[in-house]
Amino acid sequence: MNNKLSPLQVILFVVLIFAIILAVGIFAFKKNNQNSTAAPVSMWGIVDEKIMTSLQNRLNEDNEETINIVYTQKSPDTFEAEMVEALASGNAPDIFLLPNELLLKQRNKLFKIDYKTYPQRDFKNDFIEGSEILLNKDGILGVPLIVDPLVLYWNRAKLNSAGVSQSPEYWDEFMSLVPKLVVRDSNLNIQDSAVALGEFQNIKNAKEIFLTLLMQAGNPGIVLTTTANNTEEYASTFDDRSGFSVRPADASLNFYAQFSNPTKDVYTWNKSLPNSTEMFLSNDLAFYLGFASEYKEILLKNPNLNFDIAVVPQSKASESKKTIANFQILTLSKNTPNLANAYVAIKTLTNKETQQILSGLTDLPPVRRDLLAERQGDSVKDIFYRSAIISKAFLDPSPKEMTRILSDMIESFTSGRSKLTEAVDRAAQQISRLIIN
C-alpha cells in the first residue's frame, strides 16, 4: 500500500496548517491588544480616584471585555468652574460624573440619551425612583452611579438610659423623646442635646435636613413642568400649597425652628453649641442626621461610641416615606467625539455586576432596584438599602445660593426678625429667580 502523499495533498496540508497558525495568531493578537486598541474614555468627577481605579481594575480582572476609562478626580470647590472652562475651550472629557446639585444648572451642556437608545421603561426598571429626576420628555440627562441617603444616627447608651429601646419611626414619637434626652443646667444652658435642629450654621447637613422635611410635607421644592407650548422647563414649588391648608414650606420651617425656641418643651439646640458632628462624636448628642457616607468616619473618629442607625423619621400624614440623598450621575459631554464608547462605558459602570463591586468599595447602597431587593444580613446595610429605596434627589438651581437662602430664611425666623410667612415668601421669591430655563 502506497502511503505517500501526492503533491496536491502536500500543498493542501501545508495551506491548512498555515491557516490554523494564522488564525490562532490573529486571535491572540486581538486578545492581547484589546486594551490598547480600544479608544479610552475620559471622565471627570469628585469621587475618590482610588475607588474608580479599584473598580476598573476589578472589572478588567474578571472580564474578557475590558473597560478603558481615564478618570481624573477634581476638587468639589473647583469642579463646576473647570467643567465650564473645559467645555468652552473644547477640552472637555467624554463623561462628567456630576453630583446631582450641579445637574440643573449645567443641564444644557449635557448630551441627552434618547429613549430609542435607552428606553424609559428600562431606566425605571433598572434604577431607584429618586433617580427619575434625570428623565426628560425627549431623553435621559444621565445615569445614576452612586446614591448616598440621609439616615438617622442615634446614641444607644443615651436612649437606654432614658428607657427607650429603639429609634422612633415617626416625628411625633421623636418629639416626645426630646424632653427625656436633653440635659440642661440650672441656668437652662444645654449640656447634652437631644438633636441638632432649629439653627443652621452649627448644624451639618442643615440644608438637606430642611429639604427632607419639605419633601416629607409633600413639596419637592423644584419640578420639571410642561408649558402651554409643550416645552419643558424647571420651576420652583417652594411657594405652593400642594393641596394643603398650610403651605408645606411654612409647616416645615415651623417644625424645624421649634427645637431652638427656649419657650418650647423640645428646646434642645442653640447657636452657642459646638458643631453637630462634634457633639455626636463627643457623646453629647442623642440623635444626628447625617449621610450614609459618614458612617465610616464616625467609626474611625470614635470607635468607642455606642451608636446605631435608622431610617430618618417620617410624617404619619405623608402617603409615602422619603429621605433626601446625594447622587453621583454619569453624564455625557455634549461635544464628545467619543459618544459610542462613552455610552458603552456608562452602561458597563451601571450594570448589576459593576454595581455590586462599587457598593463594596464605597460601603454605600447600589442604585439598582434588583440589587436593593436582595435581603441584607448586615444591620447597617439594611438601613442604607431601605433608605436608598425611598431617597429623593433635590434639583438644586445653585448650591451656594440655595444654602444662603435657606440659612437666611431659618435664621430670620428664629431670631424674630421675620414672621413665618414673610421668611418663606422671601425665600420662595429668591429661589424662583435662581432658576434660569
Q: Is 148 in contact with 326 (CB distance < 8 Å)?
A: yes
**Lowest-confidence region among 186-200, 267-281, 284-298:** 186-200
The alpha carbon of residue 92 and the mean position of all alpha carbons in its chain are separated, in whole angstroms, by: 23
Q: Please, what's the b/e burial string for 357-369 (b: 16 or more CB within 10 A of its CB; e: otherwise)?
A: bbbeebebbbbbe
> Whats the size of the chain, residue-wise?
437
Q: Say yes or no to pLDDT of 244 above 60.
A: yes
Taking phi over 0 as left and psi of -120 to 50 as alpha, with beta for the rest, 308 belongs to: beta
pLDDT of residue 14: 46
Cα–Cα nearest to 372, from 142, 325, 291, 383? 383
CATH at 407: 3.40.190.10
pLDDT of residue 196: 97
pLDDT of residue 29: 34
pLDDT of residue 3: 52
Q: Is 362 in contact with 326 (CB distance < 8 Å)?
A: no
The model's pLDDT over 58-115, given as tens digits with 9 standing for 90+, comes to 888 866 556 789 999 999 999 999 999 999 999 999 999 999 999 999 999 999 999 9
Residue 2 lies in a domain: no
User: Rounded CA gap, 158 and 286, in Å?
Assistant: 6
Kindly state the DSSP code that residue 367 receives in the 8-state scheme.
Answer: S
Q: Is 384 in contact with 364 (CB distance < 8 Å)?
A: yes
Same domain, 214 and 279: yes
Q: Is 216 in contact with 391 (CB distance < 8 Å)?
A: no
Same domain, 74 and 155: no
Measured in degrees and rounded to the nearest 5, phi and psi for residue 402 equal -65, -40
When pLDDT is averaged across residues 227-247 and rounded to a whole number, the result is: 87
Quote the number of domains for the chain. Answer: 2
When pLDDT is averaged across residues 421-435 and rounded to a whole number, the result is: 95
Same domain, 302 and 191: yes
Q: Say yes or no to pLDDT of 171 above 80.
A: yes
User: Rounded CA gap, 100 and 415, in Å?
Assistant: 32
Calculate the alpha carbon distances from 86 to 52, 92, 354 in Å.
21, 5, 29
User: Rounded CA gap, 414 and 409, in Å?
Assistant: 9
Cα–Cα nearest to 256, from 316, 195, 183? 195
Residue 124 lies in a domain: yes
Q: Say yes or no to pLDDT of 36 above 80.
A: no
417: confidence class by pLDDT, cuts 50, 70, 90: very high
Domain final residue pick, 354, 369, 386: 386
Same domain, 253 and 358: no
Kindly report the average pLDDT of the chain as a whole number: 90
Taking phi over 0 as left and psi of -120 to 50 as alpha, with beta for the rest, 309 belongs to: beta
Q: Say yes or no to pLDDT of 32 above 70.
A: no
Same domain, 332 and 232: no
Same domain, 403 and 361: no
Q: Is 92 in contact with 40 (CB distance < 8 Å)?
A: no
C-beta pairs of 184-188 under 8 Å, 24+ apart in sequence: 188/262
- Between strands 307-310 and 139-140, the pairing is unpaired
pLDDT of residue 259: 97
When pLDDT is averaged across residues 217-241 and rounded to a whole number, the result is: 88
User: Rounded CA gap, 58 and 157, in Å?
Assistant: 40
Q: Is 260 in contact with 270 (CB distance < 8 Å)?
A: yes
Domain that holds residue 429: 149-324+394-434
pTM attached to this predicted model: 0.89
Other residues' Cβ atoms within 10 Å of the Cβ of residue 252: 24
Residue 1 lies in a domain: no
Taking phi over 0 as left and psi of -120 to 50 as alpha, with beta for the rest, 67 belongs to: beta
User: Rounded CA gap, 262 and 271, in Å?
Assistant: 12
Residue 18 lies in a domain: no
Expressed in angstroms, the distance from the first to the final Cα of the chain is 91
Same domain, 351 and 246: no
User: Rounded CA gap, 320 and 22, in Å?
Assistant: 64
Residue 211 lies in a domain: yes
Torsion 397-403-406-412 (CA) sign: negative
13: confidence class by pLDDT, cuts 50, 70, 90: low
Spatial CB neighbours of 190, under 8 Å, sequence gap ≥ 6? 182, 183, 184, 268, 269, 270, 273
Same domain, 234 and 356: no
Same domain, 307 and 332: no
Measured in degrees and rounded to the nearest 5, phi and psi for residue 222 equal -145, 135
Same domain, 293 and 158: yes
Other residues' Cβ atoms within 10 Å of the Cβ of residue 196: 29
Residue 93 lies in a domain: yes
Residue 15 lies in a domain: no
Calculate the alpha carbon distances from 89 to 13, 68, 93, 245, 350 in Å.
60, 24, 11, 51, 30
pLDDT of residue 231: 82
- Between strands 285-291 and 41-45, the pairing is unpaired
User: Rounded CA gap, 428 and 239, in Å?
Assistant: 6
Residue 189 lies in a domain: yes
pLDDT of residue 28: 40
Taking phi over 0 as left and psi of -120 to 50 as alpha, with beta for the rest, 218 belongs to: left
Measured in degrees and rounded to the nearest 5, phi and psi for residue 349 equal -70, -20
160: cell is 437606654
pLDDT of residue 23: 43
Domain final residue pick, 346, 361, 386: 386
pLDDT of residue 188: 77
Same domain, 139 and 225: no
User: Rounded CA gap, 389 and 386, in Å?
Assistant: 5
Same domain, 57 and 177: no
